[in-house]
Amino acid sequence: MKSLNYIFFIVSVALFSCEQEVDLELPLTNDRLVVEANLEQRLSGEPVEHQVSLSTLSSYFDNQSAPRVSDAKVSVIEENGAVYEFVQRAEGTGMYLNDELVIKEATEYQLYIEWRDNIYVSTAAMTSVPPIDDAYTVFEEENTFEDGGLKVAVDFTDPADKDNFYFWQIVVNGEIAIFADPGNKNNIVAKDDLFNGQQIIGYFPNEEIVVEPGDQVVVRQIGLDRSGYEYYFLLFDTTGKTGQLIDTPPAQIYSNISNVSNSQNIALGYFRVSQVAEASLTVSGEE
């Protein structure tokens, strides 16, 4: 999956691009923290290794990969006061992990990050998600917008008792597959306004992904709250710009992570606590 740092680089281009050629002295951004923090509970009950990825937003004209943040202190505080430390298993990766925290329903969790004399915090509670009833492949012919081939589809039943918001990931042979595409905001994330309480048959989480016979696929159906849906919708909307006149103007993407030490030095990214339904399949080559 493309990193958030790469995505925010695209957002920077979308927000500040214009047709007139001008010389700009753009400030360096190596102190702007980018956070991708995910706490999850699997519906299957399988254990989860929670992840907090930290990097910095590269300089606009820097062709190097985004610097990883390896000198931060990261923890999650449960509402009962229990503190869970996150550590890097491999130095220099900027990936902080914890496999001891067990996510509970109706419980708030606070993300706490110390880095360069700044303290970043965010609070969230778990959002539930329904199970995947079935996952399979469907062959689609090539069209104007998409390549033809085998696409992954799912069936699920949306609960009628509340508003539901969804985020899907497709993992192919161990790698999360995603492309910058205008359709992402309408497929990879969804709200149940038009299908509340209904059984959904043959939903394509991402029609840009073509799988091949023998591929090992895991579909991840992730619960979001309303603010999480709005965040990912705007993120995918901005990264899917095509440069056409029909594009909507880019919107500012707000993080739910606050810098309590310096409100002017905001972090980018999002902290979510989600229930996750998963379904696995081996692509057979038949519809």
pTM: 0.85
Tens place of pLDDT per residue across the chain (287 aa): 444 554 554 444 344 334 444 443 444 556 789 999 999 999 999 999 999 999 998 654 455 677 899 999 999 999 999 999 999 989 999 999 999 999 999 999 999 999 999 999 999 999 999 999 999 999 998 877 778 899 999 999 999 999 999 999 999 999 998 876 767 788 899 999 999 999 999 999 998 899 999 999 999 999 999 999 999 998 888 876 544 433 444 556 779 999 999 999 999 999 999 999 999 999 996 65
Helix-then-strand count for the chain, H and E: 3, 16
Number of Cβ atoms within 10 Å of the Cβ of 43? 16
Closest Cα to residue 54, out of 21, 87, 82?
87
Q: How many domains does the structure of the chain reveal?
A: 1
Distance (Å) of CA 156 to CA 19, 41, 130? 45, 18, 7
Residues 196-211 as b or e (16 or more Cβ within 10 Å = b)? eeeebeebbbbbbbbb
| Residue 276 belongs to domain spanning | 4-282
Residue 32 DSSP class = -
Residue 96 forms part of a structural domain? yes
Q: Is residue 20 part of a domain?
A: yes
Please list the residues that pair with 167 across neighbouring strands.
189, 222
CA 235/CA 66 separation, integer angstroms:
18
Residue 287 lies in a domain: no
**Is residue 137 domain-resident?**
yes
